[in-house]
Amino acid sequence: MRKTTFVLLIAAAAAASGAVVFQAVRSDEAAIAARSGELFLPDLQRRANEAREVVLTRSSGTATLKQQGDRWIFVEKGDYPANGEQVRRVLVELAELRLVEAKTRKAELYPRLQVEDVSEKDARSTQMTVKDGKGTTIVDVLIGRRRIDRLGGGRDSLYVRRKGAEQAWLAAGNVDITGEFQRFLVRPLLDIKAERVAEVATIQPDGTRLVIGRAKPEDAMAVVDLPEGKAVKEADKVAKAASALAGLDLDDVRKRGEADIPDNAVRAEIRTFGGLVVKVATHETNYRAWARFTIETTADASDAVKKEAAQLKARIEPYDFELLGYKTAPFTTKLADLTGES
């Protein structure tokens, strides 16, 4: 979404109000003239194009999403790329919120609406702070419990409160910041098509090596130097080895060296027909599978492959990645996994 499109979306939201009913409400910060259908945050609508940073804070942690040039980054994840479309979407959603009804002004009742300060024990609110390029706060609000329209009319609402204000509100709309903050990361990691892969080798901590490969792209993948007397019973695992790096998405990311990946971790080496080599060290602990990638090329790699490798190296090597467990299976396969032996 381009910046001009973002501004137009919010401007359109501001122009969409219909008939209004006036109701006077007082707050500690100032007198608020509340009208049914009025924008909750008109100041965000006015300064939408200045938004350069979104800080999401919960009792469990913080996510700082900052615009850097033409991209967004996730500061707490080593400045790893953030999904700019998702960031802009929640900004639009926040700007579109419209007042429905004034709710409590009593702090002891805030937890019922989940608009209590995030610093409070067991707080379930999310504080959303929007800043401009100079770090000046544009809006600072607490996003609370969502009310789903169970009649299917698409009229969802949620409870909100400006940071520092006493008055809590029910507002029409939704700001989708649910779930783990990792959802704002750019998830696609690698997508090296199966037809490009020539060989997948796995190396166990004791040095035991398994090689699955083929001589030509049209050949089927097969175990190289299969020991005499051994038979492959899991042929699908052999075939799927070629897809080890296809459609690979991350679940989480840390700076390289911060994940629990020991020096004697299981390793894999994936080589393509063009000379790209991807090395992976994998370790699973507490049901979390972490992987560390190293990108290389063979001596006969083409200039195009060398360029691809340089781009992958710059993007991937500064980090460790958490992957879904089943996605790391091709990086840890043993011969016994193919022969069905215990």
Report the predicted TM-score, pTM, of the whole model to 2 decimal places: 0.85
Of the candidate ranges 17-21, 314-318, 330-334, the one whose mean pLDDT is the lowest:
17-21
Of the three residues 152, 169, 184, the one that is the final residue of a domain is 184
172 plus 83 within the same structural domain: yes
Query: Is the pLDDT confidence value at 25 over 50?
Result: no
Q: Is 40 exposed, middle or buried (0-12, 13-18, 19+ CB in 10 A)?
A: buried
Tell which residue, 45, 71, 76, 68, has the closest CA to residue 139. Answer: 45
CA distance 50 to 27: 27
* Overall domain count for the chain: 2
CA distance 2 to 9: 11
Element (H, E) at 339: helix 335-339
For 210-264, the pLDDT digits (tens) are 999 999 999 999 999 999 888 999 899 999 999 999 999 999 999 999 998 999 9
Of the three residues 184, 218, 233, the one that is the final residue of a domain is 184
**DSSP assignments along 270-300, one per residue:** EEETTSEEEEEEEEEETTEEEEEEEEEE-TT
Of the three residues 151, 184, 217, the one that is the final residue of a domain is 184
27 plus 40 within the same structural domain: yes
Q: Which two tokens stand for residue 249?
A: 């998405």
- Which residues form the domain of 61? 3-184
CA distance 158 to 98: 10
293 plus 148 within the same structural domain: no
